Amino acid sequence: ERSKMLMRKSVSAAIARKQARQNRSYSHSKDHHHGDHHKAAAHEPEVVFEHHGTAGVARLNRPKALNSLNLNMVRLLTEQYKAWQAAPTHGAHAVSHVILVGTGDKAFCAGGDIRAIYDAGKESRHAQTHGQVTDIANEPITSAFFREEYQLNHMIGTFKKPHISIIDGITMGGGVGVSIHGSVRVATENTTFAMPETGIGFFPDVGGSHALPRLHNFGTFFGLTGYRIQGFDVKESGVATHYVLKEFIPELTQQLTKATATKDIHHVLSHFEELTKKKSPGKSSFLQQNADLITRCFANQHSVADILKALAKESSPLAHELAETLTKKVSPLAVRLTFEQLQRGRKMSLAECLEMEFRMTQHSMKDHDFFEGVRALLVDKDKKPKWKHASIEAVQDSEVAKFFQHVPNELKLP
């Protein structure tokens, strides 16, 4: 594993440059069919870029890994997005808007490459034990990944052109980070959304501290419990801006590539939402049925203890299930951290939230629960993590505060 990590660090920049050159051959291709994204050819890079009309189309292309983001993909997207943002909106090489999709039917993007972070973190801990110090010029993946991923999240959040994500399939963690900050997010009946980080001893990052508190009273619920929602609920929650049946997605995408102005984009989206309503009349969804309970128990509470007290007063099976999740399934420290993170994020800009989250990641890389959570869920797969604390009550305020302290080589966003 050590040799693999050293190799990854030494060649990652070269790979990014090489694949960016490969991608340019795709970026001028006019004959790709948007609906045929079910297979990733062996010669294709991890992100495929196409140019259709005045639309820049980016396709996440690791279907076997559910399109989860690695550092190379973050770098490819960042380089191409910079070029698309700088491109004129009219003329021969115009880019008026960007469309982001995933390869295959299963996932838009299931998250970040957590296993790579775990492996690198183990190596980093070993290196620190032996007194090795690393600066940004030779940055380990445990900080480089988060730094560059958050820079990409911020770029999407401040993109000066419409950014349209077709979040068909699993959309979690890092997949939320490359979509939710953009101007348009289209969900389908195939979409599954969650921010399940507390289950691995982590917290909802990628700008979660900014996005979640702004979701119709549902953000704290999503962030603490990692609860999964599907289909129309993804729009009902505010995670998606539009809901379109999966069968219409190829035609929707094709129509979006022909649009040249923002009003055209909104006209196309409205048209396909109307088709969806006619074909699939809305039925009462999970969030519609449980919005009052979620609001009562999670919104405007002053502590995790208050949330648990509120859940205890409810008689519904859902309230019991959520209390079980918070007290028995997720990391007590991660739950406390996440609550504090979301409280702070309510009053902060996206840039400030991402800078705060970067500090939190670097403290997490030195802590027990993240590595234990990943071990239990993804490495040994025994699903029996031994968290640092036996209960939420055992977590001290001073331990939570430590995660928000400044770190060397901080992330600084414009």
Supply the residues annotated as catalytic: 112, 174, 197, 205
Neighbours of 301 (CB within 10 A): 17
Structure tokens at 155: 């770029």
Which of 222, 218, 239, 98 has its CA nearest to residue 167? Answer: 239
User: Helix/strand/coil (H, E, C) string of the chain?
Assistant: CHHHHHHHHHHHHHHHHHHHHHHHHHHCCCCCCCCCCCCCCCCCCCEEEEEECCEEEEEECCHHHCCCECHHHHHHHHHHHHHHHHCCCCCCCCCCEEEEEECCCCEEECCECHHHHHHHHHHHHHHHHCCCCCCHHHCCHHHHHHHHHHHHHHHHHCCCCCEEEEECCEEECHHHHCCCCCCEEEECCCCEEECCHHHHCCCCCCCHHHHHHHCCCCHHHHHHHCCCEECHHHHHCCCCCEECCHHHHHHHHHHHHHCCCHHHHHHHHHHHHHHHHHHCCCCCCHHHHHHHHHHHHHCCCCCHHHHHHHHHCCCCHHHHHHHHHHHHHCCHHHHHHHHHHHHHHCCCCHHHHHHHHHHHHHHHCCCHHHHHHHHHHHHCCCCCCCCCCCCHHHCCHHHHHHCCCCCCCCCCCC
Beta bridge partners of 172: 194
Burial 346-358 (b: 16+ CB within 10 A, else e): eeeebbebbbbbb
